[in-house]
Amino acid sequence: MQIHVTLPRFIWFLAAMTFAAAIGIPKGFNVTTLLIILCSFAMSCFKPLAQPVDKADKALIWTFFVFGLSLILFSLADHLEMRGLDKPSRFLFVIPVVFLLLRTKGHQEWLWYGIVVGALLAFALALYERLVEGVSRASGEEHPIMFGDTGMMLGLLSLVASIYFFSQKRFYWLAVALVGSLAGIGTSVLSGSRGGWVALPLITAFLLWECRELLGKKRLMSVLSVALVMVVAAVAIPQTGIQKRVGEAVSNISDYSQGAKSATSVGLRFDMWKSAIYMFQQAPMLGVGESQVQPIKRELSALGEINPRAVPYNHAHNEYLQALSTRGVVGLILLLAMYLIPLKLFLHKLRQYKHNWRIRAYAIGGALIPMCYMDFALTQTMFMHNIGVMMFAFPIAYFWAALRWTEREERPAAA
């Protein structure tokens, strides 16, 4: 009997800790996701589902399966090396986790606590690296872009947590979550990762629009005013580094357009994009494969089409162009499906429950993940990194299961 009481707590604790340990505890997400995968394999043998999966559950599961399998097949067709199966397999391993969490009635509210703690820990680490170690860009043990983009996502999810706590009139945790949202955004700023900054105004506008009735006009205007003041202050203060990074980007673009200094950060990225478009033109349907990326870049470099310093990169610094160049139109369609199907499922629940904020908060949080990744994908190949795969697939599974359990809990009350 004791096992039945403690095991659900442990499983949802692991889910929450995936957020808490995401980047604030270097590589911590690897431990939590491994444990929850092992639990999913064990539990699948002993405990039936609380209720049959419905069409929406199946749509999510099949999306993970088809996308993961497609990446594995492309990898095998390309170079037949086991290293190409590592990250794609994560999209398959998350499927038993979906079943596990649909079996495990739970403590889905712990996700919010894990998110806020994760944002605070990430900011503490970023601050330590910048102030004590004196690095120019905070990174934890990840690439600075991955560190910053994950921090931004944690900050935006903390903002959703604050909406949840406000709707439940839990004002202490509302205050903590708001601090967490600033911490996550601050982590992105301290990493100097410009690509993630685009997500901030777009997703904040989406959140405020969805919360307009909950907040009311006066609160909404107050929030907008405070947000505007904070953005202006962050840009105006030189120590944040925002002015410098934006100025560098503008200068890099100007230099590249004039054919000079293409070895800059932005210039090299443009050369990677140019290379990716060229590869797509060579094999538009199925792409050239990852193994051909650097050989083709070497050819383009020899012809003077791209800077030699762009050659060592084995990706395009753009998820969409990476899919087009290495997996063709087929790969791009599958990538868009991986983004859009979960997004559609969460948005459908958001429209279905217009006034139930216990459910709506999980729907917004789940929708926010593919929304963030679609933005991050413009300047980074997120799925080429372990943390990029793990912090996409598993949080979607967690939020979907949390939403489904909250639906079940709310039905008796509605009746």
pLDDT digits (tens, 9 = 90+) for 386-414: 999 999 999 999 999 999 999 988 775 55
* CA 233 to mean position of chain CA atoms: 27
The rounded distance, in Å, linking the Cα atoms of 192 and 121 is 18
pTM: 0.91
- How many distinct structural domains can be found in the chain? 1
Is the predicted pLDDT of residue 251 greater than 70, yes or no? no
Q: What percent of the chain has pLDDT over 70?
A: 86
In our burial notation (b when 16+ CB lie closer than 10 A, e otherwise), range 257-292 reads eeeeebebebbbbbbbbbbbebbbeebeeebbbbeb
**Domain extent for 340:** 2-46+53-242+320-414
Q: Which two tokens stand for residue 156?
A: 């935006």
Element spanning 231, H or E:
helix 212-236
Amino acid 200: pLDDT: 85
The rounded distance, in Å, linking the Cα atoms of 222 and 201 is 16
Amino acid 415: pLDDT: 44
Amino acid 1: pLDDT: 33
Is the predicted pLDDT of residue 258 greater than 70, yes or no? no
Please answer whether residues 323 and 285 qualify as being in contact, where contact means their C-beta atoms are separated by less than 8 angstroms.
no
Cα-based torsion angle of the residue sequence 47, 346, 162, 192 in order, rounded to the nearest 10 degrees:
110
Instruction: Specify if 295 maps to a domain.
Output: no
Element spanning 357, H or E:
helix 357-376
The rounded distance, in Å, linking the Cα atoms of 294 and 312 is 7
Amino acid 264: pLDDT: 76
At 5, the pLDDT band (50, 70, 90 cuts) reads very low
Instruction: Specify if 254 maps to a domain.
Output: no
Is the predicted pLDDT of residue 86 greater than 50, yes or no? yes
Instruction: Specify if 127 maps to a domain.
Output: yes
Please answer whether residues 329 and 281 qualify as being in contact, where contact means their C-beta atoms are separated by less than 8 angstroms.
no
Task: Specify the range with the lowest mean pLDDT, choosing from 70-84, 173-187, 206-220, 374-388.
Answer: 70-84
Q: Which two tokens stand for residue 56?
A: 């929406």
Q: Which residue would you say has higher pLDDT here, 259 or 387?
A: 387
DSSP character at residue 225: H
Angle, helices 293-302 vs 265-282, to 10°: value is 110
Task: Specify the range with the lowest mean pLDDT, choosing from 158-167, 248-257, 275-284, 402-411.
Answer: 248-257
At 333, the pLDDT band (50, 70, 90 cuts) reads very high
Instruction: Specify if 371 maps to a domain.
Output: yes
- Looking at residues 113-123, what average pLDDT do you find? 97
At 2, the pLDDT band (50, 70, 90 cuts) reads very low
User: Average per-residue pLDDT in the chain?
Assistant: 87
Rg (alpha carbons) of the chain, rounded to whole number:
22
- Pinpoint the alpha helices (H) of 28-85: 28-43, 55-78
Tens-place pLDDT, residues 260-294: 556 677 788 888 999 999 999 999 999 999 889 99
Instruction: Specify if 234 maps to a domain.
Output: yes
Residues ≥6 apart with Cβ < 8 Å to 87: 71, 383, 384, 385, 386, 389
The rounded distance, in Å, linking the Cα atoms of 297 and 318 is 16
Instruction: Specify if 199 maps to a domain.
Output: yes
Instruction: Specify if 84 maps to a domain.
Output: yes
| Burial (CB count <10 Å: 0-12, 13-18, 19+), residue 381 | buried
Amino acid 3: pLDDT: 40
Please answer whether residues 150 and 22 qualify as being in contact, where contact means their C-beta atoms are separated by less than 8 angstroms.
yes
The rounded distance, in Å, linking the Cα atoms of 305 and 39 is 51
Please answer whether residues 161 and 180 qualify as being in contact, where contact means their C-beta atoms are separated by less than 8 angstroms.
yes
Instruction: Specify if 89 maps to a domain.
Output: yes
